[in-house]
A and B are shown apart, each in its own frame.
Chain A
Amino acid sequence: MCVGVPAKVLERDEYTAVVDVLGSKVTVGVIMVSDVKVNDYVLVHAGQALAIVDEEFALVSMEEWRKLADARDS
Chain B
Amino acid sequence: MQEILKETSNPQLSLKLLEQVKLLAADYIKKYGRRPAFMEVCGSHTMALARTGIKKALLEHVRLISGPGCPVCVTDQKSIDAMIQLSEGDNQIICTFGDMIRVPGSKHSLMKVKTEGKDVRVVYSPLDAVEIAKKYPDKEVIFLGIGFETTIPVLVVALKMAEELGIRNFSMWFSTKLVEPILRSLLESGEVELDGFLLPGHVSVVIGKDSYQYLVNEYKMPGVIAGFESVEILSSIYKLIKLQLDNDINIINDYRSMVTDQGNPVALALMDKYLEPVDEAWREIGVIKNSGLDLKKEYDYLNAKVRFPVEVREPRKTKCRCGEIIRGLISPEECSLFAKACTPLHPVGPCMVSGEGTCAAHYQYMRED
Give CA–CA (A46, B96) in the complex, Å.
12
Interface size class of A (residues with CB under 8 A): 35 or more
Residue of B nearest to A34 (CB): B266
Number of B interface residues, CB 8 Å? 56
B146→A1 contact, CB < 8 A? yes
Chain B, 6-17, contact with A by CB distance < 8 Å: what is the 0/1 string? 010000010011
Chain B, 144-172, contact with A by CB distance < 8 Å: what is the 0/1 string? 00111011011001000000000000000
A51→B264 contact, CB < 8 A? yes
Give CA–CA (A61, B228) in the complex, Å.
14
For window 10-61 of A, CB contacts with B under 8 Å fall at: 29, 31-34, 41, 43, 45-48, 50-51, 53-55, 57-61
The tally of CB-CB contacts under 8 A between chains A and B is 136
Q: Does B1 contact A (CB under 8 A)?
A: yes
Chain B, 311-333, contact with A by CB distance < 8 Å: what is the 0/1 string? 00000000000000000000000
Residues of A within 8 A of B148 (CB): 1-2
Min CB gap B54→A, angstroms: 14
Q: Which of A8, A31, A54, A68 contacts B257 (CB 8 A)?
A: A54
Chain B, 243-259, contact with A by CB distance < 8 Å: what is the 0/1 string? 00000000000101111
Min CB gap A67→B, angstroms: 10
Known: A2-B148, A2-B203, A4-B202. A46 touches B256 (CB 8 A): no
Residues of B within 8 A of A58 (CB): 1, 4, 257
Residue of A nearest to B153 (CB): A32
Give CA–CA (A58, B17) in the complex, Å.
17
Residue of B nearest to A43 (CB): B258
Give CA–CA (A6, B238) in the complex, Å.
24
Residues of B within 8 A of A60 (CB): 256
B17→A68 contact, CB < 8 A? yes
Residues of B within 8 A of A32 (CB): 153, 157, 264, 266-267, 270
A4→B257 contact, CB < 8 A? no
Min CB gap A64→B, angstroms: 7
B23→A43 contact, CB < 8 A? no
Give CA–CA (A43, B238) in the complex, Å.
25
Residues of B within 8 A of A54 (CB): 256-258
Residues of B within 8 A of A55 (CB): 1, 4, 257
Q: Which of B17, B23, B153, B256 contacts A50 (CB 8 A)?
A: B153
Q: Does B213 contact A (CB under 8 A)?
A: no
Residues in A lying within 8 Å of B, measured CB to CB: 1-4, 6, 8, 29, 31-34, 41, 43, 45-48, 50-51, 53-55, 57-62, 64-66, 68-72, 74
13 contacts between A and B (CB under 8 A): A1-B71, A2-B43, A3-B202, A4-B150, A6-B5, A41-B1, A48-B127, A54-B257, A61-B235, A61-B254, A62-B4, A65-B7, A72-B23
Q: Which 6 A-B pairs have the closest CB atoms?
A: A47-B125, A69-B16, A58-B257, A2-B150, A57-B256, A74-B19
